[in-house]
Amino acid sequence: MSDTDTFLRLAFAQSPAAEANAAMARIREEQGDAKSYEFVLPDKEVRAFLLERTLPRLVDYLESVGARLPGCGGVFLSVFAGDTLHFLHARDAVSLLSEWSGLSLDELKRRYGPNRT
């Protein structure tokens, strides 16, 4: 299974990308007025993109808005891949990326959180 498939398999819902605004509004409401963290998944080198570019920014964002690891409450990811929008719980994505990176959740917070040490 490709890294893209492994990552997107975490999705709890999908929508055509052309209907992104309505779909995100629906998911926000269904998730109790949750926040959406959005990005476009590249066609190539997905694991490197997720670990080097997305993970540091995502951890910083989550910790900054009070959606603390490991639960990441109140945040879901809206991931555009091709013509489909995939919705993932932030906690599931962070868990997988933690595993891929070999870093514990505590180490992710230390390295990438707003209070970096």
What CA–CA distances, in Å, run from 32 to 54, 70, 94? 24, 19, 20
Give this prediction's pTM: 0.94
Q: Region 85-110: what's the mean pLDDT? A: 97
What CA–CA distances, in Å, run from 55 to 80, 95, 114? 16, 11, 13
Q: Which phi and psi (to 5°) does residue 25 adopt? A: -65, -40
What is the per-residue pLDDT across 48-74, written as a single tens digit (0 to 9) for each? 999 999 999 999 999 999 999 999 999
Look at residue 65 in the predicted model and tell me its pLDDT.
94
pLDDT at 78 over 80: yes
What CA–CA distances, in Å, run from 108 to 53, 79, 94? 13, 21, 9
pLDDT at 117 over 70: no
Look at residue 1 in the predicted model and tell me its pLDDT.
87
What is the per-residue pLDDT across 4-44, written as a single tens digit (0 to 9) for each? 999 999 999 999 999 999 999 999 999 998 999 999 999 99
Task: Give the residue from 51, 113, 38 showing the smallest Cα distance to 77.
Answer: 38
